[in-house]
Amino acid sequence: MAESFYLFSNGELQRKDNVLRITASDGRYKDIKVEMTQDIYLFGEVDLNTKCLNYAGQLSIPIHIFNYYGSYTGSFYPKEKNVSGKLLIEQVNHYTDKYKRLEIAKAFIEAASYNILRNLRYYSERGRDLQACMTEIKGLRKVIPRTEDINELMGIEGCIRQAYYNSWKDIINQEVDFEKRVKRPPDNMINALISFVNSLIYATCLTEIYKTQLHPTVSYLHSAGERRFSLCLDISEIFKPLIGDRLIFSMLNKNMLTEKDFESQSNFCYLKDNGRKRLLQKYDEDLKRTIRHKVLNKNVSYRYLIRLECYKLIKHLMSDKKYEGFTIWW
Amino acid sequence: MYIILVYDIEMDEGGAKASRRVFKTCKKYLTHIQKSVFEGDITPSLLQKLRIELDKFIRKDRDSVLVFKSREERWLQKEFWGKEDDKTSNFF
């Protein structure tokens, strides 16, 4: 119901008439209906002042900021409204206890790898030869319950991803030279897409976590490092195959994005503005798409699935119900 | 639900004030698409909140606010006659 706003224009974001108004340098403007907004994504060069941030903070609207190359730089994260000391203590307890932490981390990987397999199955049913890759991942999945520490688990996750990424050239119809995952900076079309889409999912997870009582810095699979909201990384792991990868496959297979939408030089590759816009439009539509939830017995959007994941995690932390990661059931 | 809100404010003494306030209030909840026309997706509770806010400004004997409700955007056929513009888009 509430909407996300994606601002590409360069200009000024300010408080005006009790709404947030973005004014482009050529004088065009757009008013953002604040009561109906859940988050704002800034892609252009935007000037804003504390008055505007204060207002966004008052209305609890997180503002996610992306740099010129489309990579995520950070968020304006309004003061936590939904705080719960009790939950925070439990969150930390589950982090410091090695077994409890591993249990949750395993659930994340199990769900993520299951969703990866579902993606592969979808394409193998459509005539792609992915059997070898699927067997490899199935084999790796069997090891997950036996892992004894986080590093081992992360290693298996890495192997699964590698096998998965290797199969991408068979899934994608377009001619791509995707050898391996390269970040900072991405070196080809697919890597650029993965980086961009992942950072979007990351920001969306942060918006959803904000709506719950969870603390975004305490995570389980990734080490709770400093300077970043690592819980988003954990949760986004589950949704990358469902939302991100599927988005990339369909954009490329339907030729909605081609070589022309990228700007590449010898050592980097980035999405151009127009391509970025098209991708975001699709991303926004995908998040709004609804499915019938089996347990809740009502229609829920993909975005809401992310929030449900947070609620499930809370239940686990409060020892109410054991956490099981979200798996695609349709 | 998806609504279209239209208002008509009598332009007598105090009309300008009422119209200004109604405009600013509607802008917080809906997208301004034409002079006194707003549209957008809204929840019943927020619509109620909007109504309470507006009630303070409109003069019951002179001004009127009309709301057309539709269950969802897709049940509303929208046509542009003349210039087309996508003011309701989330992209800018």
| Residue A324 domain flag | no
Question: Residue A65 pairs with which residues in a beta bridge?
Answer: A42, A74
pLDDT higher for A174 or A17?
Answer: A17
Helix/strand/coil for B78: coil
Helices (H), B1-92: 15-29, 44-55
Q: Identify the CA nearest to A68 among candidates A43, A47, A46, A48.
A: A43
Question: Where do we find the tokens 């690592």?
Answer: A230
Sort strands A46-48 and A11-16 into parallel, antiparallel or unpaired: parallel
Whether residues A71 and A89 share a domain: the answer is no
Q: Give the CA count within 13 Å in the CB-facing half-sphere of A41.
A: 29
Who's near A256: CB < 8 A, 6+ residues apart? A250, A278, A282
| Cβ-defined contact of B92 to A8 (cutoff 8 Å) | yes
Give the least confident one: A219-223, A246-250, A283-287, B11-15.
Answer: A219-223
Helix/strand/coil for B52: helix
pLDDT higher for A38 or B88?
Answer: A38
Question: Residue B37 pairs with which residues in a beta bridge?
Answer: B6, B34
Instruction: Copy the structure tokens of residue A192.
Output: 């650029």
Query: Residue A179 has what pLDDT?
Result: 65
Whether residues A134 and A243 share a domain: the answer is yes
What domain count does chain A have?
A: 2
Sort strands B31-34 and B37-41 into parallel, antiparallel or unpaired: antiparallel
* CATH number of domain containing A243: 1.20.120.920
Domains and CATH numbers, chain B: 2-74 (3.30.70.240)
| Residue A327 domain flag | no
Closest Cβ opposite residue B30 in set A9, A30, A33: A33
* CATH number of domain containing A32: 3.100.10.20
**CB A123 within 8 Å of CB A131:** no
Whether residues A39 and A147 share a domain: the answer is no
Query: Residue B68 has what pLDDT?
Result: 94
Query: Residue B23 has what pLDDT?
Result: 93
Whether residues A59 and A109 share a domain: the answer is no
Q: For residue A226, is pLDDT > 60?
A: no
The DSSP 8-state label assigned to residue B35 in this structure reads T
Range of the domain at A205: 85-318
Q: Identify the CA nearest to A216 among candidates A200, A199, A230.
A: A230
Q: For residue A101, is pLDDT > 80?
A: yes
Is residue A185 reached through a cis peptide bond, with omega within 30 degrees of 0 on the bond before it? yes
Q: Which of A47, A76, A105 is the last residue of a domain?
A: A76
**CB A297 within 8 Å of CB A312:** no
Q: Which of A23, A51, A76 is the last residue of a domain?
A: A76
Whether residues A61 and A102 share a domain: the answer is no
Q: Which of A28, A33, A40, A284 to mutate to test the interface with B (most CBs of B within 10 A)?
A: A33
Query: Residue A99 has what pLDDT?
Result: 84
Alpha-carbon span B30 to B5, nearest angstrom: 9
Alpha-carbon span B68 to B51, nearest angstrom: 14
Sort strands B64-70 and B2-8 into parallel, antiparallel or unpaired: antiparallel
| Residue A12 domain flag | yes
The verdict on whether residue A222 carries a ligand-binding annotation is: yes
Query: Residue B50 has what pLDDT?
Result: 93
Average pLDDT, chain B: 90
Query: Residue A266 has what pLDDT?
Result: 63
Q: Is A284 on the interface with B (CB under 8 A)?
A: yes
